[in-house]
């Protein structure tokens, strides 16, 4: 049976440290846009940690929510792309094909989660920063859209390795950069088509909800609500 990749994010465990954001930048060759561009709202954080609080210091109640592409099964970003740059794969991922993108930015408008980003300028990595670039991930030029891919390069690598070894992919073997780097292990990635995988079990928990579920996008990330007050 084909895989259906999904995630569960435990808001009880998330400490808002931001390691996932940094790891995502490093793994996926995402440029840092600089302070002035970030101030204009152009930071390209494929995963962002949203921070919510109530009350005044020192009686503050904090909650963190990491948000990345929800890989919706009924993604509103897909039918609106005129060149099929945004389409659905057989494994349930929303693919972004940079080569087909002509930059209409309709997908970003249609996305209710605001998880799609536009390359406003050609990215630059002045030496020696270019040495850190991940050779498995292409660099996007100015004018195309990009977003979280669930580290599809790692998924493909894991599947190729498993097939070479003539076995199925083991649960937990493929880890996107964010899940790998989360110190609290709040992000769990796996195959939703395998009912015994960690992500499927977590998705069945009672405190699990989907983001903006009422819009009918069928997102594949389950957020486990925060139970403790801290």
Partner 1 sequence: MSHVSHERLTADLLRPLEQTSWRFYLLVAFLGSIVAMGLGTWMYQMYMGFGMTGINMPVYWAFYITNFVFWIGISHAGTLISAILRLVNAGWRRPVTRCAEVITAFALMIGAMFPIIHLGRPWLFFWLMPYPSQRLIWPNFRSPLVWDFFAISTYLTGSLLFLFLPMIPDFALIRDRATGIRRRIYGVLALGWRGTTKQWHRLETAMQIMAIAIIPVAVSVHTIVSFDFSMAPVPMWHSTMFGPYFVAGAIFSGIAGLIIAMASLRKFLHLEAYLHPVHFENLGKLLLMMSMLWAYFIFAERLTTWFGNDTGEMNVFYVTQRGSFSPLYWTMVVCNLVIPFTILALRWLRTIAGCVVASFSVCIGMWLERFLIVVPSLSHKYLTYSWGHYRPQPVEIMITIATFAAMTLLYTLFSKFVPIISIWELKAGDHPSAALYPAPMHEHKLGETHA
Partner 2 sequence: MSVYGLYDNGDAAQLAVDALRASGVTEDAITVISAEPMEDYEFGNINRRSRLWYIASAGGAAGCAGAAWLTRFTEVAWPLPTGNMPIVAWWPNLIVVFEMTMLGAILSTVAALVVTGGLARRRPALYDPAVSSGKILVGVEAPRDRAAVERALISAGSPVVSR
Binding site for partner 2 (CB under 8 A): 73-81, 84, 86-88, 218
**Alpha-carbon distance 149 to 146, whole Å?**
9
Minimum separation from the CB atom of position 219 to partner 2 (A): 12
Nearer to partner 2, 23 or 75 (CB): 75
DSSP E strands in the chain: the ranges are 5-10, 48-54, 61-67, 86-88, 94-96, 116-118, 145-147, 187-191, 208-210, 221-224
**Alpha-carbon distance 109 to 198, whole Å?**
33
Task: Give the one entry of partner 1, partner 2, none that residue 154 binds, where binding means its C-beta sits below a cut-off of 5 to 8 angstroms depending on kind.
Answer: none
Residues 6+ apart with CB under 8 A from 204: none
Nearer to partner 1, 5 or 113 (CB): 113
Task: Give the one entry of partner 1, partner 2, none that residue 88 binds, where binding means its C-beta sits below a cut-off of 5 to 8 angstroms depending on kind.
Answer: partner 2
Stretch that binds partner 1, among 54-62, 103-111, 163-171, 189-197 (CB under 8 A): 103-111
Q: Count the site residues for partner 1 by CB under 8 A.
A: 44
User: Is the distance from CB of 186 to CB of 9 less than 8 angstroms?
Assistant: yes
Task: Give the one entry of partner 1, partner 2, none that residue 134 binds, where binding means its C-beta sits below a cut-off of 5 to 8 angstroms depending on kind.
Answer: none
Closest CA relative to residue 112, chosen from 33, 214, 30, 223:
214
Tokens matching residue 82: 């005129």
Provide the binding-site residues for partner 1, judged by CB under 8 A. 37, 40-43, 48, 50-52, 67, 76, 79-84, 100-106, 108-110, 112-114, 117-122, 142-145, 211-212, 215, 217
């Amino acid at each position: 049976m084909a895989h259906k990749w999904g995630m569960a994010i435990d808001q009880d465990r998330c400490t808002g440290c931001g390691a996932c954001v940094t790891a995502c930048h490093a793994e996926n060759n995402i440029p840092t846009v600089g302070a002035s561009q970030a101030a204009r709202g152009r930071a390209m954080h494929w995963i962002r940690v949203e921070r919510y609080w109530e009350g005044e210091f020192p009686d503050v109640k904090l909650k963190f929510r990491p948000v990345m592409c929800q890989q919706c099964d009924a993604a509103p970003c897909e039918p609106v792309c005129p060149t099929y740059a945004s389409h659905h794969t057989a494994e349930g991922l929303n693919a972004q094909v940079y080569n087909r993108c002509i930059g209409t930015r309709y997908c970003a408008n249609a996305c209710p989660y605001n998880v799609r980003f536009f390359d406003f300028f050609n990215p630059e990595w002045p030496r020696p920063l270019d040495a850190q670039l991940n050779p498995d991930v292409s660099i996007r030029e100015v004018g195309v859209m990009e977003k979280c891919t669930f580290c599809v390069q790692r998924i493909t690598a894991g599947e190729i390795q498993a097939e070479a070894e003539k076995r199925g992919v083991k649960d937990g073997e493929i880890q996107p950069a964010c899940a790998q780097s989360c110190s609290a292990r709040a992000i769990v990635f796996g195959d939703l088509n395998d009912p015994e995988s960690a992500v499927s079990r977590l998705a069945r928990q009672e405190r699990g909800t989907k983001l903006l579920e009422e819009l009918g996008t069928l997102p594949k990330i389950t957020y486990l609500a925060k139970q403790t007050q801290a």
